[in-house]
Amino acid sequence: MSSATAARPSVSTHILDTSVGRPAEGVALTLSVRSGRDGAWTVHGASATDADGRCKNLPALPEGTTQVRLDFAVEPYFEKKRADAQQDAPANRDSGPFFPEVVITFAVEPGEHYHVPLLLNPFGYSVYRGS
């Protein structure tokens, strides 16, 4: 690995569906980057979570990246779960998830790794910088 590659920040993520206590499989996400808070966003990669709720194929961030945006398309995931007819689902879930997408934006520094777990349920979410 060259020193230029080693100095670039990297990103990983995973999703846990806290409504069932399991990884969220099949959630599509888009990774966008920009340089500076006034820079234009550029889509840099796309992926979907695997059976363990992880995206293992996110691309390395380009040199000069200062901010990253992860856009999780959670509505199709919850629609599929509803179609799978969970027997214990409350009746008020018929309207679908409250958040059709979750967008997380964060600043990055060269040489750092950013693991960004998403804890998700149909009516809320939480995110943090993991390790």
The tens digit of pLDDT for each residue in 48-78 reads: 999 999 998 999 999 999 999 999 999 999 9
Domain extent, residue 44, equals 3-127
Tell me what pLDDT residue 51 has.
Answer: 97
Provide, rounded to the nearest whole percent, the portion of the chain with pLDDT above 70: 85
| Domains of the chain: total | 1
**3-state DSSP assignment of residue 85:** coil
Q: How far apart are the first and last CA of the chain?
A: 21
Residue 117, beta-bridge partner list: 14
Greater confidence (84 vs 60) lies with 60
Tell me what pLDDT residue 55 has.
Answer: 93
pLDDT band of residue 95 (cuts 50, 70, 90) is low
What's the distance, CA 11 to chain centroid? Answer: 10
In this structure, are residues 76 and 68 in contact, taking their beta carbons and an 8 Å threshold?
A: no
CATH number assigned to the domain comprising residue 71: 2.60.40.180
Tell me what pLDDT residue 128 has.
Answer: 96
Provide, rounded to the nearest whole percent, the portion of the chain with pLDDT above 90: 73
The tens digit of pLDDT for each residue in 25-49 reads: 999 999 999 999 899 999 999 999 9
